Amino acid sequence: MDLYEAIRGRRSVRQFRDEAVSPETIERILDAALWAPSAHNAQAWRFVVVGKEGKEAIARAMIAAGDALERRGETLPGLKATSRLVAQAPVLIAASYAPAEPIALQETYTLGEIFSLSAQIQSVAAAIQNLLLAAHAEGLGGVWIGYTNLVAAELREILGDEGFPVATVALGNPLRMPPAPERKHRASRITARG
């Protein structure tokens, strides 16, 4: 598959056939993720392929977080549907920034911590994009899930991973490929200066 074809053909797939994905395919996809650019070449990312019990525990934590939000009068559309997706996805991969020393999940960070965290989160994000493109090249569908960050502390405990959670990715054989979403006009998104 040509790179440009992969970029234009990849879709966010949220419905999968009830079929296993081979360990060899998952290995190739994860290897592609590891070739992403990395801030300071730290390659400080970690990917955890989550088993059935872990997926169900993450989904329960997401539902509990949604219930707590509702009790406060807040809602996040799609949270409960995404929790079902997390539990039922044939493959769920959690991606985190994994520095040598664990970073505490906290309300505020110093400017230096923000700079470092943002650089490493961007690196993990680049790896996730590689992962999704590789999955598409393998004929799989996938979707990037940010909702799991609502339960970052629980996620760390469930996975036994002290890394800084960035996102999870659900993968599988697509039930159907959604059509391409409309793209915003190019001229409103790209500017040349100077």
Whether residue 172 has pLDDT greater than 80: yes
* CB distance 141 to 11 below 8 Å: yes
Question: Which homologous superfamily does the CATH classification assign to the domain defined by 3-175?
Answer: NADH Oxidase (3.40.109.10)
**CA pseudo-torsion sign 57, 76, 118, 168:** positive
Whether residue 102 has pLDDT greater than 80: no
Dihedral of CA atoms 176, 139, 47, 66 in degrees, nearest 10, equals 0
Residue-wise pLDDT for 71-101, tens only, equals: 999 988 899 999 999 999 999 999 999 877 7
Q: Specify the pLDDT at position 128.
A: 98
Whether residue 1 has pLDDT greater than 90: no
Q: Specify the pLDDT at position 116.
A: 86
Q: Where is pLDDT greater, at 114 or 14?
A: 14
Q: Specify the pLDDT at position 105.
A: 79
Q: Specify the pLDDT at position 20.
A: 95
Q: Where are the domains of the chain?
A: 3-175
* CB distance 33 to 94 below 8 Å: no
Over the chain, what is the mean pLDDT? 93
Report the alpha-carbon distance of residue 155 to residue 168 in Å, rounded.
10
Whether residue 165 has pLDDT greater than 90: yes
Q: Specify the pLDDT at position 184.
A: 87
Residue-wise pLDDT for 4-35, tens only, equals: 998 988 999 999 999 999 999 999 999 999 99
Q: Specify the pLDDT at position 89.
A: 97
Residue 161: pLDDT band with limits 50, 70, 90: confident
Average pLDDT, integer, range 36-61: 96
* CB distance 187 to 163 below 8 Å: no
